[in-house]
Structure 1
Amino acid sequence: MSRWQQQGPLWSFAPPTAEPFAGGALVPPIGVVEFIGGTVLAASPQLSYRRLLEALALRGLLVHAWSYVPGFDHQAQATEAWRCFRSVRSMATPGVAGSAPAPLPVLRLGHSLGCKLHLLAPDGGRGCRGLVAMSFNNFSADRSIPLLADLAPRLGLRTEFSPSPEETLRLVGLHYRQPRNLLIRFGTDALDQSRRLIGVLQQRPDDASTLLERPGDHLTPASAGLRQNLLGAWADDPARQRQIDRLADQLTGWWLGPPSQDSCS
């Protein structure tokens, strides 16, 4: 079975069939997942999102997950993540002996704040075959960080994200150029703002964005991995694993579908 490998702030996971010790003929990855998680969870994506990311690897995708601590300058962090992903695109596949650099189609995948960071990438979404945005979250700093409104003036702290929520949506409408976007909203997710985002995306010419509603809550993409890592294998819930597997099937099925004429690999 493949193992997670760290390359600076990126954690990588290769499909088991692409590894020499997996047995049988080596099968190269069908593409690359560039994943950015949400607040708190994003510090250790190889743990908090392990189940979902490994499920995508089992479907033939090479996974790169960016580890970061969220700050107030979201544009700077979006640029940093984009540069990290770009830097490993020409490298050999982790865990694959003798693998040669080769261009692979890219799926950008974000959860919560990670969706916003992908949308703010300097290339405007051109360097991928599509974006899957799960539980898009674009709240203000005051709402995202409890007590900030009271404490910030006393401590002389910055009190809003950059760009702000409204400015983020304006920038997406003006500069985001990827037509293929799958927005996923989980039914009981009180933090989700996917409907506002898809309203902006669908105003663009030749947009092909869609909104998918699934059962679950804001932590559904991370819940199965979190339970096992925090409580051990005995606490594993087969129902949650099946939910993650269905989600992984939907993501890959959508991404492997016919690309929009304007999307890039």
Structure 2
Amino acid sequence: MNCQEISGNWVYLPRKKIIGIIHFLGGAFVATVPQISYRDILEQITREGYAVIATPFVNTFNHFTIAREVLNGFETVVERLKRTNMLTQGYLPIYGLGHSMGCKLHLLIGSLYEVERAGNILISFNNFPASQAVPFLEQFNISPVFGVEFAPSPLETEKIIVDNYNTRRNLLIKFDQDNLDQTNMLNHLLQNRFPDLTTVRKLVGNHLTPLNQTIQWKTGEFYTPLDAIGQWFNQGMSQNVNQLKRELLTWLNPMSAF
């Protein structure tokens, strides 16, 4: 597989025939280095024949601006890949894939701009106001800022989705130990628009599960209790990530399950 930086985006191209394009947007504060934070998942999707364009962004309070900028970045890369014949000039389905704040950005893109998407995969969606984003910020040792609100605000975001969101097919993924997740609320909004095309999957894991990497635990010359604990811990984490990968790929291509 070929991974390279193009116009500030990280682009993964499969060695086999490309069957679709994925636009990936990560969560706040880890989205600046998606090629590192989400490497395992992005590489697995690429191996299945999808060209992945991961657009980094720096989080600010103006999510309108970020959505416009990441869309511009994505479209610039697609055009460049087509001009250089790295992508076919024919039709390829485009899917949005977002985690946490990346979900909100894909929802804004699908509501405010005329984009064609075969579907969106939204993992661990949350839409907290700035003053309540404390648990998420604390995980990254960042002090919350009070008295400032995101644009659009949570209520404004909900209204934008209800009135304008135009991506019909959606997969929503939530984790059983994720106290930051608001997927149920998002599902309610989307069910009102596309009741037969919105699917929810609940998996084992937490808000940071998509960031986990599959690590091969190597034992020393002698097998020790520490090796047993390490392998057990790694196996549990790997199972969660692998289950997430299977859900993504099955939804993208149902025939891959057979």
| TM-score, with structure 2 as normaliser | 0.81
Distance 1:110 1:28, change over 3 A: same
Partner of 1:249: 246
RMSD over equivalenced CA pairs, Å: 2.6
Q: Mind listing any 5+ residue stretches in structure 1 that lack a counterpart?
A: 19-26, 153-158, 259-265
Other structure's SS at 1:185 match: strand
* Residues 1:88 and 1:207: Cα distance change in structure 2 (over 3 Å): farther
Provide the rounded CA distance (Å) in 2 between the counterparts of 1:249 and 1:34.
18
Q: Which residue pairs with 2:57 in the alignment?
A: 68
Is residue 108 of structure 1 aligned with residue 107 of structure 2? Answer: no
Structure 2 distance, partners of 1:42, 1:198, is 24
Please report how far the alpha carbon of residue 248 of structure 1 lies from its aligned counterpart in structure 2 after TM superposition: 1.9
Q: For the Cα contact (< 8 Å) 1:188–1:217, is it kept in 2?
A: yes
Q: State the partner residue of 1:156.
A: none
Distance 1:257 1:183, change over 3 A: same
> Residue deviations 1:98-122, cap 9 Å, x none?
6654431111100000000000016
- After TM superposition, the structure 1 stretch with the greater mean CA deviation from structure 2, 166-175 or 245-254, is 245-254
Q: Which of the pair has the greater relative contact order for Cα pairs under 8 Å at 6+ separation?
A: 1
| Preserved contact between residue 119 and residue 125 of structure 1 (Cα < 8 Å) | no
Q: Deviations over 1:113-152 (max 9, x none)?
A: 0000000016557411100000001101112254422xx5
Q: Distance in 2 between matches of 1:50 and 1:181?
A: 23
| 8 A contact 1:90–1:103 mirrored in 2 | no
Matches within 5 A, 1:49-198: 49-92=38-81, 100-121=88-109, 126-145=115-134, 146-149=143-146, 159-198=148-187
Q: TM-score, normalised to structure 1's length?
A: 0.79
Kindly state the Cα deviation for residue 254 of structure 1 after the two structures are TM-superposed: 1.1
Q: Percent identity?
A: 34
What is the alpha-carbon distance in structure 1 between the residues aligned to residue 185 and residue 86 of structure 2? 46
User: What SS class does the counterpart of residue 17 from structure 2 fall into?
Assistant: coil
Matching of residues 230-249 of structure 1 within 5 Å:
237-249=234-246
